[in-house]
Amino acid sequence: MKTIVFSALFITVAVFSWAAEWETYEVIDKLLTISEPGEPVIYENFVIFTAKSDLRRVGVAFAHENFSTIYWYRHLLITQDPLDAPIPPGKKVPDPYKESGLQFYVYQVPENINMLEYRLVINGLWTIDPVNLRTRRDPASGLTWSLLSIPPRQKIHDPLKGLPKGLNFLFKGPPGETVTVAGNFNGWDPFMYELKEDPAGVYSTIIPLPPGTYQYVFFLKGQRYLDIYNSRRAYSREGNAVSEIVIQ
């Protein structure tokens, strides 16, 4: 369990600078359960694509975007067990991280898409997804596309449902932890608003706020997480991804 926690902490530092759409605790936790490359994994409205880390470069592009953007995979690093023996003077300090064997990309599926059609770019060559057996031939281009069915979206929590009493913040994570929320409504103080846990692993609180635009993140064990139930994103003055919501 410690390995997962420490891996999550590293991902927060190394990956979140570019993964603005998916840096939620739930998606990270799902990613860390993947032990080897395989067919795409669907979680909520996200899809996790994986490939072997020894491939030079891998990207994914989508038919509904006319294949105009290639989303490049990133390597997933995990922590190594620290050395108990002291490091002799002059010796290089070992790298605390090692390759997991995976590289990945997390894609947020648009609401109007129920069939994801895509192609991969592997080491510079366009191809189908080798771990996804479902394909179709596009009659217009003559190319073969990989297919992924997106299940119907379940009705999810809406932070605005707490109005007019206040914004209803919800976070799902490991049980027995301290989870807080901070934003431009409290000067980004990570200690002011603590969520209550009920039932186990489900944390929530309602904060009364006047009409306006608010940016916020959750904090768990000192790490920042976006709101999986709110897809709207923005950036703080420091360049960090944050969740954003508007109260009319």
Nearest partner of 227 among 32, 24, 12, judged by Cα: 24
d(CA 172, CA 9): 17
What number of H helices and E strands is found in the chain?
A: 2, 19
Q: Can you give the pLDDT of all 248 residues of the chain as single tens digits?
A: 333 333 333 343 333 334 446 678 888 888 888 989 999 999 888 999 999 999 999 999 999 999 999 999 999 887 766 555 566 677 676 666 777 889 999 998 988 899 999 999 999 999 999 999 999 999 999 999 999 999 987 767 788 887 788 899 999 999 999 999 999 999 999 999 999 999 999 999 999 999 999 999 999 999 899 998 888 889 888 888 899 999 99
Are 2-149 and 159-247 in the same CATH fold? yes
- At residue 43, what is the residue type? Y
pLDDT given for residue 45 in this prediction: 83
Element (H, E) at 121: strand 115-122
pLDDT given for residue 84 in this prediction: 53
Peptide bond before residue 94 is cis, with ω within 30 degrees of 0: no
* Residue indicated by tokens 């895509």: 118
Domain boundaries, the chain: 2-149, 159-247
**Strand, coil or helix: 30:** helix
- The pTM of this model reads 0.66
pLDDT given for residue 131 in this prediction: 93
Q: Which CATH architecture has domain 159-247?
A: Sandwich (2.60)
Q: What is the CATH number of domain 2-149?
A: 2.60.40.10
pLDDT given for residue 217 in this prediction: 95
d(CA 220, CA 179): 5
CA dihedral for 128, 130, 132, 137, sign (positive or negative): positive
